Amino acid sequence: MNSFWRAVLVGTLLGCLVGIVHAETGREAWLRYAPLSDTERAKYMSLPASLVPVGDSEIVRTAQQELVRGFRRMMGRALREEKAFPQESAFVLGTLENVRALIPSMHPLRQLSADGYWLTTAKVKGHDAIVITGANERGVLYGVFAFLSKVARNQPIASLNEIQQIGRA
């Protein structure tokens, strides 16, 4: 085999290897938020376009950023981040204590554990809200991950009312 064909063979093999390595590093693992198919995306088009964080902590801001990032990657839509509840449906994020300031009727059927979260729906100022709340800020973040996981797995969220206990009660 002459050096030209050897170089072509080595170049081709390296090109294939680079393509394989670049395809999926696993770096983002389950947080990659792969885009949904058109059929799957159509199921979630009625989701709110606005996001209202309640409270101001670094972890709630991280939960807010994660919801925005996941929504953009999976749905191809950007969420508008609001300071107050808009005159339309919205996501509401915050600890249960802080969310109750906006929605006084928020009472889970059972007490949330230390890092537990509650995914539910509510009416706020006559508009629908998807509420992601937790006993503490970590619970809010865990709730965001759980919600995004439901969307990524194409699970129904129309009648959302899920409590997940994490940590000590």
Q: Judge contact between 78 and 72, C-beta under 8 A.
A: yes
d(CA 109, CA 102): 19
Question: Stretch 60-83: mean pLDDT, rounded?
Answer: 94
Q: Which amino acid is at 153?
A: R
Instruction: For residue 35, name the pLDDT band (cuts at 50, 70, 90).
Output: very high
Model pLDDT, residue 8: 42
Q: Is the pLDDT of residue 11 over 80?
A: no
- Of 63, 59, 58, the closest CA to residue 92 belongs to 63
152-165 per-position pLDDT tens digit: 999 988 889 988 88
Instruction: For residue 2, name the pLDDT band (cuts at 50, 70, 90).
Output: low
Q: Is the pLDDT of residue 10 over 60?
A: no
Helical segments of 76-132, H only: 96-102
- Phi/psi for 9 (5° steps) reads -65, -45
Question: Stretch 46-57: mean pLDDT, rounded?
Answer: 93
Written as six digits, the tokens of 11 are 């170049």
3-state secondary structure of 109: coil
Q: Judge contact between 139 and 166, C-beta under 8 A.
A: yes
